[in-house]
Structure 1
Amino acid sequence: MEKLQDQISLYHVSEINVTYRPKFKASERPKVSTSKEVYDILFNNWDLDKIELLEQFKILLLNRANRVIGIYEVSSGGMAGTVADPKLIFSTALKACASSIILSHNHPSGNLKPSEADIVLTHKLKNAGSFLDIAVLDHLIMTSEGYYSFEDEGII
């Protein structure tokens, strides 16, 4: 009887469905070509009550024409850091059929200088993206007063 139960349980698996329902036509989505445009979109969609309170990591998802598919909040942490899980980042990009992504996180301290951990993470995610044909175009460090672009500074 126990053996029969084990055999039956082999067939109890969950089906996974992936859906994507954009709210706007592709032609209505903003197109980005500069880090300033990226900053403006992210800043206008950031919870400004939190930008100087705690660190958050978000990604901007783009289609082939560099039009914004959406923004996804990967994590929200503490004053000194947050977790940027590559599995969450790329599973979201894959689900949205993004051709490229732009990484972003804020520094509540207002310091725009990237840490060594920020640089290492950026390179790790850029390499991971290359295996999935999802380009990591930039990484912005955000503050309420400005931004730092890894692409503009030649780090990415």
Structure 2
Amino acid sequence: MSAAGRRVLVGRIVGLFGVQGWLKVESWTEPRTQIFRYQPWLLSAAPGEETEVEGVKGRPQGKGLIAQLPGIDGRDAAAALVGQDIYVAREQLPPPGKDEYYWVDLEGLEVVTTENVVLGRVSHLFATGANDVVVVRDGERERLIPFVQGSYVRSVDLSGGRMVVDWDPEF
């Protein structure tokens, strides 16, 4: 599946700052201030509800980040945005490095074992303290496979839409 049209979650609006409509922002980009370079932002309060915002300005403030969105010039207007997720279009992000992947690019891949047994498709991923985990669903079962390249994940072929894993299909 092509990356075109996909969105990537890069942060969240987490609070208010001052009385002039500034917002506290949590960023998951590296470095964290990179979030301001990716625009437009797609703000989402609920699935299917998005607002595109272009021209966001921001800066570090204390231990966090603050942002000013065009047209938001008061505390009440800003308060309505607290809790919204910040997405950007996948194509805005730089290409990943060798053996690095954006989670959104892995979602939907067919997952097969090294013996070519189909386990299902990547539903989503989540982070744990030790490593990321791939959630693979086949309609009946859900498998949680550690995303550890070389050990469990043997290969990822984005153009072919397939991930090969060293995993017992009965587990």
Please state which band the TM-score falls in when normalised by the shorter chain: under 0.3
TM-score by length of 1: 0.25
Structure with more strand by fraction: 2
